[in-house]
Amino acid sequence: MATYPAVRRTSSAPLLGREARRFTGRAAMTLLAIAVLSGFLLPLAYMALTALKDQQQITDQSAPLYPATPLTFEYQGTEYPILQVPLDDGVRPLAIITKGREDSVFIDPANPGAGPIEWHGRWRTLEAAHVLDPKVENFGKAWDEIQFPKLFRNTLIIAGVGTIGAVASAIAVAYGFSRFRFRFRGGLFVILLATIMLSQQATLVPSYIIFTKIGWAGTWLPLIVPHFFANAYNVFLLRQYFMSIPRELDEAAMIDGASPFRILRSVIVPQAIPAITAVALFHFFYSWNEFLLALVYVGGKPDLWPLTLGIQQFAALFFTRVPLVQASAILTIAVPVVIFFLAQRAFMRGVVVTGVEK
């Protein structure tokens, strides 16, 4: 009689335990990410909701968070507020026509012919009925009040031209540090990185004196020209990405007779599009939100103001008109938000510096 080796049975409990722990870990990370994201988005959501309200909706303490207007009902030529009244058949919206301390009289807006309804209770404890009523016209008013087209044009010129200069100069300097060997290369790169520690406030006065001496004060030149001299942060990011590109590609291009500039244009730049996109977006957002330098150099010339100065002036003059101020802020951040979402994939690839797939 043939014998067979005993089959060892394994329990699935450890496997299920590992799956449970893995699921718990993923759920915890997801909840943490949602909490962090909510912390960043809640102020933006509040700003957007406030921009869609009018002054009455903001001062109404019983109003919900979303833009809403209290409901009223006209009865016998008089407007009465509508409250949420609890009755035997449930909560119903009724218009209060007689306010009493313990007993009040209501009318049903859906069936006014049924006559008055007496209700026992304190009417002040009832919630007012509201209807969604966004004030979209706030954006049109803000558009006209702050002269948005002119400010938008000025900001686009300053940010656009400055970004072109920053990206072009950073590519050139990063290419030199990543591909060429020259004397004192390491020391020069350390000095370049050390400039990151210099704050804008530390160099503001010397820079202002120099630009005033050469007649650039009161123009856009101090806001644009310095970006054509590579920024250390941009150079560092691009250099690290360029160094991850295999040198074999450069050597193959050199064998075909390509010059260093041709290698940069045809080999390096196409491979580094994600990093270049990240650098361009970083600098564009920085220039778009620049306030201090714009205030120093063109603060006395309203025709040259960017959006940041225009909104600050508008908020100072109309600080009581909160919805219009918030609407102008929404208009200002609309362009960066749209650009970020359109280039989000390349931006994230550029932030996470990786090598070339082979």
Quick check: is 138 in a domain? Answer: no
Residue 17 falls inside a structural domain: no
User: Looking at the structure, do residues 272 and 155 belong to the same domain, yes or no?
Assistant: yes
Rounded average pLDDT over 20-26: 79
**pTM of the complete model:** 0.77
Residue 45 lies in a domain: no
| Claim to verify: residue 115 and residue 261 sit in the same structural domain | no
- 96 with 238, same domain: the answer is no
Q: Is the pLDDT of residue 358 over 50?
A: no
Least confident of 67-81, 128-142, 322-336, 344-358: 344-358
φ/ψ of 76, rounded to 5, equals 55, 45
Confirm whether 202 is domain-assigned. Answer: yes
User: Is residue 119, in this structure, part of any structural domain at all?
Assistant: yes
174 has a pLDDT exceeding 90: yes
The 10s digit of each residue's pLDDT in 114-131 is: 888 898 888 888 888 888
Answer yes or no: is 3 within a domain.
no
Residue 105 carries which DSSP code?
E
Q: Which of 337, 238, 330, 239 is nearest to 284 (CA)?
A: 337
In a shared domain, residues 88 and 176? no
Does a structural domain hold residue 101? Answer: yes
297 part of a folded domain: yes
| Count of structural domains within the chain | 2
Domain-ending residue, one of 80, 101, 128:
128
Domain that residue 81 falls in: 72-128
Are 94 and 197 members of one domain?
Answer: no
The CA-atom distances, in angstroms, between 334 and each of 44, 291, 327, 345 are 12, 17, 11, 19
